[in-house]
Structure 1
Amino acid sequence: MKTPSSPSFVTRLLDDDHLAALEELERATREERTTLLQARKDLARRVRAGEDLDLLPDTREVREDVSWRVAPPPADLTYRLVELATPATAEAAKSALSVGADVWVADLEDMLVPTPARLLAAHQVIEETAATRTGDAAPGVPTLMVRPRGLHLPEAHVLVDGIPASASVVDVVCFLARSGRRLVDNDSGPYLYLPKLESWQEARWWDHLLTRAEELLGLPAGCTRVSILVETVQAAYQLEEILHAVRDRVTGLTAGRWDYVFSHLRTYGHRPEHALPDVDAFTMNTRFLRTYTELIVRTCHRRGVQAIGGPISLSASGPFDESVAMTHARVHRDKAREASQGFDGAWTLHPALVPVVRAPFEARDERVGTGAEDRLQDRDAPRPEVVVDPLALRDVSSLPGTATLTGMRTALRSSLTYLTGWLAGEGTVTIAGHIEDFGTVELSRMQLWQWMAHSERFAEGPTMSTRLLDRMLEDEIALLRRRGAREELLAHAVRLLRDSVVAEEAPPFLSVLAYEVLVSLDDATEGAPAA
């Protein structure tokens, strides 16, 4: 294995045998990964040409076969009312272990800036946390889950045959090699949250990856269990097929609400009839999003999987005052809606909101006299067919609200603020009372692109144009300068954002382009003479 810089962070995490396993696993999965990424491009091209997403005719038998169910969950993943998702940092881990969450999702994807130093520290924190996880013998300690980077992301600091390795492969090997055996021996296991899946074939790729990783690392077959974030519109049409592909590993499906909206824009944004209003103008109760969440719940209940509600990004820091009380009320309403829909639990991004998220689910379970474990034990009960309504899944015609100049300015400000902070190493940023990660930028810039592509007329009268964009960018750049933003990072952030908004074809993931800038900044720092 070669690395573009020496020493690589993986050489500090893995011994020679584990490095050899990483190299073999990368080679074994690379061709199929390349094919899957090309399949994404091919489908996107067909949709731009007029094709609509729909159920797959070739997998009808999987959907109609009522006999199959997924494997029962492990003991420490049967009770998941509250899952706290934070970056995999020492500070976040300390908080996560003390606030009473049922699960801590240690994030290596949207919430962590993937520099070698931060990835090294993240895996060390994960290993330390794994040492505290002793299954049923450790009440009050949350179950550890790790969200690796998606299969579309490379790891530029690990080269195999001169090619950057898959970030997914690197994250999985580092986690399993450092913590897998300890977790298994402590009556738990290595548990993953799989992001950004778009097809059942991608789920199968993950299953093959994990099967081979367990073999190479000497772990029990099937010990690595997964939950899946339903973050793409493509996956919504293949939920049963995805579950079937990982039926011996899967434990849950989780709604990734705003990533899902981003995916809709990325898929259908070129069509004028799919123009979205300001995202703050519509809620999860609109037909477009309620259809998506109800589909997740029905599919999970049919196949014996836990359904986990999506995160709400509100922050609740500081003394308990009127604004914090209003935040608590909004979170409670959102989680009460999910509890009434049949979700088994939900994500939160802020430690202080753990008890607020928990309350509606506990109240629901107490009222009906059942919990997640009871529902999962009823494995032989007949389940109705899940009917997927393709029109409802892509129907945005009834979304309330309009596009506004305020919404445009908010999208620009949050994107520039986050990108500048991200390039400086901040994986999450609190902006206007919301905890934002890279998903914020992806959604905001995609909405700006759509408004630009269709010359959207805002409620206040002006039409979206490069001239209007540049005028507003000047205002936001001046504001960030007054707030002390680093000039060179701000310049990169502006270029990344503007280029993605004015592009004839929107880049699928801005995170890939931002990562290239991040790597170039790291390389420039390493090449600078010592002071």
Structure 2
Amino acid sequence: MAGMAARIPEQTPVQVTGALAGQEDLLSPAALAFLARLHRAFEPERQARLAARRQRQARFDAGELPDFRADTRALREADWTVAPLPEALLDRRVEITGPVEPKMVINALNSGANCYMADFEDSTSPTWENLLTGQRALRKAVAGTLDWMAPDGSKHYVLDPSSRTVLIVRPRGWHLDEKHVWVDGRRMSGALFDLGLFAFHNARALQARDRGPYFYLPKLECMEEAALWERVLAFIEGDLGLPQQCMKVTVLIETLPAVFEMDEILHALRGRIAGLNCGRWDYIFSYLKTFRRHRDRVLPERGQVGMTQPFLKAYSELLIRTCHRRGAHAMGGMAAQIPIAGDPIANEEALARVRADKRREAGAGHDGTWVAHPALIPVARAEFDAVMTGPHQQHVLREDVVAGRDRLIEPSKGTITRAGFDNNVEVCVRYLAAWLDGNGCVPIHWLMEDAATAEIARAQLWQWLHHGDLHLDDGTPVDFSLFDRALLALPSRLADRMKLPGASRLNAAIALLDEFTQADTLAPFFTEVAYERLP
């Protein structure tokens, strides 16, 4: 029998419009009542915070520049630290990230990484099936009963009972809704649905084993958004009968406004925060989005915007200094490379880039890093092991770092090549096609692309085209004629396109990218718009 929407008593104003076989075990009346309590307690403030984001972006569009807050200067200058870290989060030198589908969950927890970030956000296309399959997989993983059989029966995946990899869950950001769950006639927050449902089913079991539960919090822009999470987590602990502040979090600093409020974010969550993370790809996207109307801050093509660019170097080093001053971990960013099969020379070149990046992070004082593929774990670990004699580097205070406002927003020097322009078009279309087809983690040109990297490509295309006076390095004008030619040429460039993830959605993806790029205003997130086209 096909899936049925959960049966809810008529007097309960919760409506579940999604239908997946067996979903009643996750969406029980008690679970739905818990989610409804979360919604009613925090939806008004969520909406207020989202309105504040829109108002701040309007000021940026009008020419204002982000800066450190005058009203919190005393807090930044005061001496204080966050609460001591739990033992399970002391050593995080290598973390693997990926979507919440069962095979990935098993492979990540069996990988030997210190932590696994199970991602409901940028690497998961939030179809109803994906979300509930992910929740079910994590519930079984926490219980130690998760297994997965390849569709052709060729391989059976099971959890290694001796695994010590620590589970950390990333819910969706504050800006995203969950359209399949309505409370009092309004959609529920995707963030509260993801984190709330996971906590309802798993928090007690994890707390009993001193494993949190632990979470990554994405896309925060200010201390008030962090304070909202603090109230949410305290509410969940009280509602579920958990010890206060047992739920620990790491915050991704992946928006440009947030880099000016790192002390404030740490302070708002000081009883439960374990660290901050350099979410580099989303951070670059946020720079583009924040300065979408600023001609003097247009970035060169993505391949030239590396972590040695002044604004990115300043961001990562200020994060280290801030975290270590406050007793928190400073986590490094993602290595998106994946093994290149059949080409040992190209594969070694890719691994060399990973080594150099992780050597830079470890040498700068980061306490750990991210990888997207299990094969990169030993590569990253070797670079951190060479520097770290203990579980972390909080003793590296980086008091030498001076990162003022102008340095943090300094534009990058570089060019736009024809290959770079065409690559942005291709990455956008191929990722959007896969995402619309339910796949949020897509290998393209031996990089594991997710929503953040696709957003960089999309935002750059919009910005380049709407400023109207840019040229490729060969002198060709960057205009909509160039864009149209790139779109028209793309299907023929993808010779094996019918074998690509989301091949059946390529035409829809081309139309969607054209819609995004032609729009007068850069859409804040493609996931908000494209979500309406998901089942």
The two structures have a TM-score, normalised by structure 2, of 0.90
The 5 A counterparts of 1:128-527 are 128-132=140-144, 140-316=163-339, 318=341, 321-366=344-389, 370-372=390-392, 388-396=403-411, 399-455=412-468, 456-480=470-494, 483-484=497-498, 489-518=505-534, 522=535
Partner amino acid, structure 1, of 2:44: E
Aligned partner of residue 168 in structure 1, secondary structure: helix
Structure with the bigger percentage of helix = 1
Matched, 1:38 2:51: yes
Deviation string for 1:408-466 (max 9, x for gaps)?
A: 10000011011111111111111111000111221101000111011221112221222
Find the counterpart in structure 2 of residue 115 from structure 1.
127
Report the CA distance shift for 1:269/1:263 in structure 2 as closer, same or farther (over 3 A).
Answer: same
Q: Answer whether contact 1:8 1:157 (CA < 8 A) is retained.
A: no
Q: Provide the rounded CA distance (Å) in 1 between the counterparts of 2:478 and 2:308.
A: 29
Q: Which amino acid aligns with 2:314?
A: T
SS in 2 for 1:156: strand
Alpha-carbon separation, structure 1, partners of 2:45 and 2:349: 48
Equivalent position of 2:60 in the other structure: 47
Q: Which amino acid aligns with 1:30?
A: E
* Alpha-carbon contact 2:17-2:181 (below 8 Å) kept: yes
Task: Output the TM-score relative to the length of structure 1.
Answer: 0.91
* Equivalent residue number for residue 57 of structure 1: 70
**221-230 vs 464-473, which deviates more?**
464-473
Contact 2:335 2:370 in 1 (8 A): yes
1:529 aligns with none
| Distance change >3 Å, CA 289–CA 384, structure 1 → 2 | closer
Distance change in 2, residues 1:385/1:328 (3 Å): closer
Cα deviation 1:30-61 (Å, max 9, x = unaligned): 11000100000000001111111111111112
**Deviation at residue 162 of structure 1 after TM alignment:** 1.6
Distance in 2 (alpha carbons) for counterparts of 1:425 and 1:382: 43
- 1:14, distance to aligned residue in structure 2 (A): 3.3
Contact map agreement 1:9 1:116 (CA 8 A) in 2: no
Q: CA deviation at 1:488?
A: 6.2
Contact 1:240 / 1:299 at 8 angstroms: preserved in 2? yes
Mark the CA change 1:30 to 1:276 in structure 2 (over 3 Å): closer, same or farther. Answer: same
**In structure 2, C-alpha distance between the alignment counterparts of 1:256 and 1:507, rounded to whole Å:** 20
Distance in 1 of aligned mates of 2:33 and 2:307: 46
Q: Distance in 2 between matches of 1:58 and 1:383?
A: 25
Following the alignment from structure 2 to structure 1, what is the Cα–Cα distance between the partners of residues 69 and 400? 16
Secondary structure at the residue paired with 2:300? coil
Task: Please list the CA deviations of residues 230-280 of structure 1 after superposition, one character each: whole Å capped at 9, or x if unmatched.
Answer: 100000000000000000110011101111111000001211111111111
Quick one: structure 1 residues 503 and 65, their matched pair in 2 at CA, closer, same or farther if it must change by over 3 Å? same
Alpha-carbon deviations, 1:158-198, whole Å to 9, x = none?
01112110001101111101111111112211100000000
- 2-side partners of 1:217 and 1:13: how far apart? 16
Contact 1:89/1:121 (CA < 8 Å) preserved in 2?
yes
In structure 2, do the counterparts of structure 1 residues 345 and 6 end up closer, same or farther at CA, with 3 Å as the change threshold? closer
1:478: Cα distance to partner?
3.8
What root-mean-square deviation, in Å, do the aligned CA atoms of Structure 1 and Structure 2 show? Answer: 2.2
In the other structure, the counterpart of 1:525 is none
Q: Secondary structure at the match of 2:164?
A: coil
What is the rounded CA distance, in whole Å, between the counterparts of 1:512 and 1:9 in structure 2? 28
Which deviations, in whole Å up to 9, do the C-alpha atoms of 1:490-527 show, x marking residues without a partner? 23212221111121110111111111111xxx2xxxxx
Q: Separation in 2 of the partners of 1:222 and 1:386? A: 32
Instruction: From the superposition, tell whether residues 355 and 82 of structure 1 become closer, same or farther in structure 2 (CA, over 3 Å).
Output: same
Shift of 1:125: 1.4
Q: Mark the CA change 1:310 to 1:383 in structure 2 (over 3 Å): closer, same or farther.
A: closer
Q: Secondary structure at the match of 2:96?
A: strand
Aligned equivalents of 1:61, 1:108: Cα separation in 2: 36
Change (3 A) 1:19 1:475: same
Aligned-residue sequence identity (percent) comes to 38
* Counterpart residue number, 2:83: 71
